[in-house]
């Protein structure tokens, strides 16, 4: 099968290399010439475990992946074209900005000259895929194409594994022909008995937002329970553990912390609610999840401020929105560090992969090349992201270089008693 993927962001590139891994020939399109040059030389523009190896393999050895900046001449041979461009939140609004999707739809319309499937893989509000169909059918005979919704459920940091071993694949189609082509595309997953959920286009679009919003709800829920635990002297980790054993609840996404961040949850929760509002449906729970998560930054910052002397130096470990990524979009760490800076603290930061992106977000923070260097002379340590390398820090060594022994373990990666024994004043989340 020949595939074309428009947009070489996170979703587009992971999709591209993984389909090449299945043996398909993939053409990736992006207007950003700098990005394309980097990609052509086999360099991934972001950090994702396993990506560099797969890019190198499929550019240089199998030659299944190639790049271009235009769709012109690239649809003649294509069976499926995927739209994987960004759908950021519109400035000062909650809804998704779909302008890139519309541009790609126009470009597809100008270049289709034989039957092909047009698949929306970007996270798009319900109704978008039909709108794409309208745009294309203004210029192209409807016999020459079908539209499909095929959302992705990739997590940054484990995206390749998520693609190759997904919990499920969702395909929203409007006729048998396109359903059959999509099932054929995902045939390599049949061996792994991956459930393929075949739905209407609208249902598929809703599944994506409902899934992300539900996971975000679980996190916001346990974070509020954590607040109560702190006040009454209970332990949220034990609460979550016992709740999670109940199969109806499940143990995943019940880790209390500084709130959810990243390029998906905050944006998708807002967009889901905003789409519903347009249809006169109020998603009260989702609105509350958004509010609860936004207020969390202030709550956590206030807790830190009330326990550390004014104007002191703080060591901040972990700046990405979660481990195993260099992505700092909507990172709770950056937000909390920035708030503390505004209040007059000096921030000595370290992250294994996200320092470059963090510098671009806030150049007022100071950056160091190891956790230990960032600890030097600090009056407190904050662990904002649970990178593996922070899980077994040498606290005997750290004790000697800190000014005061205070730790805010926002992700609950340490046992409080262990650190208290070493003389630390310990603050976790919800315990
Ligand atoms: C998410 C979805 O999981 C994925 O299916 C979708 O395609 C894209 O959005 P991602 O944003 O990569 O993936 O990260 P995820 O692992 O879901 O974490 C999102 C945020 O929630 C992070 O800030 C993380 O730290 C936080 N989180 C997650 C918690 O605070 N507690 C948890 O228990 C789990």
Q: DSSP string covering 86-121, please?
A: --PBPTTSSSB--HHHHHHHHHHHHH--S-EEEEE-
Nearest residue (CA) to ligand 1, atom 6:
153
Q: Judge if the beta carbon of residue 386 lies within 6 A of ligand 1.
A: no
Give the per-residue pLDDT at 94. Answer: 82
d(CA 421, CA 418): 5
Q: What's the N-to-C CA distance of the chain in angstroms?
A: 53
pLDDT at residue 384 is higher than 80: yes
Is the pLDDT reported for residue 89 higher than 90? no
B/e letters for 20-35, b = 16+ CB within 10 Å, e = fewer, are bbbebbbbbbbbeeeb
Q: Is the pLDDT of residue 334 over 90?
A: yes
Q: The tokens of 8 are what?
A: 């070489």
Could you tell me if the CB of 429 is within 6 A of ligand 1?
no
Domain ranges of the chain: 2-199, 209-295, 296-427
pLDDT at 44: 92
Rounded to whole angstroms, the Cα distance separating 292 from 287 reads 9
For residue 240, the CA-to-ligand 1 centroid distance in Å is 17
Q: Which percentage of the chain shows pLDDT scores above 90?
A: 94
424 confidence band (pLDDT: 50, 70, 90): very high
Paired sense of beta strands 25-29 and 116-120, if any: unpaired
Q: Is the dihedral of CA 33, 37, 40, 45 positive or negative?
A: negative
Rounded to the nearest integer, the mean pLDDT of the chain is 96
Looking at per-residue pLDDT, the higher value among 95 and 20 belongs to 20
Sign of dihedral through CA atoms 222, 224, 229, 230?
positive
Task: Give the pLDDT confidence score for residue 369 in this predicted structure.
Answer: 97
- Give the integer Cα–Cα distance in Å for 416 and 395: 13
Question: How far is 54 from 44, CA to CA, in rounded Å?
Answer: 10
Convert the pLDDT of each residue in 206-250 to its tens digit. 999 999 999 999 999 999 999 999 999 999 999 999 999 999 999
Q: Does domain 296-427 have CATH number 3.40.50.720?
A: yes
- Yes or no: say if 101 and 83 are a contact pair by the CB < 8 Å rule: yes
Indicate the SS3 state at residue 15: helix
Rounded distance between C-alpha atoms, residue 78 and residue 6, angstroms? 12
- Rounded to an integer, the average pLDDT of 132-144 is 97
Over residues 94-104, the mean pLDDT reads 92
Quick one: pLDDT at residue 190?
86
Cα(306)–Cα(196) distance, integer angstroms: 51
User: What mean pLDDT is predicted for residues 322-347?
Assistant: 97
Instruction: Tell how far the Cα of 20 is from the centroid of ligand 1, in angstroms.
Output: 26
264 as an active site residue: the answer is yes
User: Which of the 8 DSSP states describes residue 155?
Assistant: P
pLDDT mean over 411-424? 97
Report pLDDT for 95.
85
Joined tokens for residue 340: 């503390």
Check residue 274 and give its pLDDT.
Answer: 94
Structure token digits, residue 290? 């958004």
For residue 363, the cross-strand partners are none
Q: What is the DSSP string of 126-145?
A: TTHHHHHHHHHHTTS-GGGE
Fold agreement (2-199, 296-427): yes
- 10 Å Cβ neighbour count for 403? 14
pLDDT tens for each residue of 34-67: 999 999 988 899 999 999 999 999 999 999 999 9
Sorting pLDDT into bands at 50, 70 and 90, what band is 375? very high
Q: What is the pLDDT of residue 293?
A: 98
Give the angle 414-219-13 at the CA atoms, nearest 5°: 95
- CA nearest to 296, candidates 114, 412, 429, 190: 429
> CB neighbours (10 Å) of residue 345?
23
CB 14 within 8 A of CB 36: no
For 391, what's the count of Cα atoms within 13 Å in the CB-facing half-sphere? 6
Nearest to residue 384, comparing CAs of 348, 421, 415? 348
**Secondary structure of residue 342 in the 3-state scheme:** helix
* Residue 199 CA, ligand 1 centroid: distance in Å: 25
Does the C-beta of 10 come closer than 6 Å to ligand 1?
no
Nearest residue (CA) to ligand 1, atom 14: 155
Instruction: Quote the pTM value.
Output: 0.95
CA distance 85 to 103: 10
**In a mutational test of the pocket of ligand 1, which residue from 257, 334, 335 has the highest number of ligand atoms less than 8 Å from its CB?**
257
| pLDDT score of 191 | 81
- Over residues 340-362, the mean pLDDT reads 96
pLDDT at 309 over 90: yes
Active-site hit among 44, 116, 229, 264: 264
Polymer length of the chain: 431
CATH code reported for the domain at 2-199: 3.40.50.720
Which CATH fold topology does 209-295 show? 1.10.1040
């Amino acid at each position: 099968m020949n595939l074309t993927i428009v947009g070489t962001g996170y979703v587009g590139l992971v999709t591209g290399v993984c389909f090449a891994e299945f043996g398909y020939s993939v053409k990736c399109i992006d207007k950003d010439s700098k990005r394309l040059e980097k990609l052509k030389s086999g360099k991934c523009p972001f950090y994702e475990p396993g990506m560099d190896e797969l890019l190198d393999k499929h550019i240089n050895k199998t030659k299944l992946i190639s790049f271009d900046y235009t769709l012109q001449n690239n649809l003649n041979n294509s069976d499926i074209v995927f739209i994987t461009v960004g759908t950021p939140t519109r400035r000062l609004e909650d809804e998704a900005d779909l302008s890139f999707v519309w541009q790609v739809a126009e470009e597809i319309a100008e270049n289709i000259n034989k039957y092909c499937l047009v698949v929306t893989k970007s996270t798009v509000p319900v109704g978008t895929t039909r709108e794409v169909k309208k745009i294309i059918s203004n210029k192209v005979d409807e016999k020459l194409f079908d539209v499909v919704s095929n959302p992705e459920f990739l997590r940054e940091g484990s995206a390749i594994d998520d693609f190759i071993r997904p919990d499920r694949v969702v395909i929203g189609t409007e006729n048998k022909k396109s359903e059959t082509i999509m099932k054929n595309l995902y045939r390599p997953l049949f061996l792994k008995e991956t459930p393929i959920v075949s739905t209407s286009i609208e249902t598929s679009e809703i599944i994506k937002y409902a899934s992300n919003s539900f996971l975000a709800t679980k996190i916001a829920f346990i974070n509020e329970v954590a607040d109560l635990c702190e006040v009454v002297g209970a332990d949220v980790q034990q609460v979550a553990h016992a709740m999670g054993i109940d199969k109806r609840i499940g143990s995943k996404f019940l880790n209390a912390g500084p709130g959810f961040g990243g390029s998906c949850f905050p944006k998708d929760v807002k967009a889901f609610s905003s789409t519903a509002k347009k249809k006169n449906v109020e998603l009260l729970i989702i609105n509350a999840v958004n509010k609860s998560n936004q207020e969390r930054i202030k709550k956590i910052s206030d807790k830190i401020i009330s326990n550390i002397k004014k104007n002191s130096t703080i060591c901040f470990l972990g700046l990405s929105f979660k481990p195993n990524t260099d992505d700092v979009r909507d990172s709770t760490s950056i937000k909390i560090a920035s708030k503390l800076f505004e209040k007059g603290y000096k921030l000595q930061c370290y992250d294994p992969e996200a320092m470059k992106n963090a510098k671009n977000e806030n150049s007022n923070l100071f950056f160091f090349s190891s956790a230990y260097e960032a600890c030097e002379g600090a009056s407190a340590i904050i662990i904002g992201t649970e990178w593996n390398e922070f899980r077994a820090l040498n606290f005997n060594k750290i004790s000697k270089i800190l000014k005061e022994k205070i730790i805010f373990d926002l992700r609950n990666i340490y046992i409080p008693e262990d650190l208290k024994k070493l003389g630390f004043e310990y603050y976790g989340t919800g315990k």
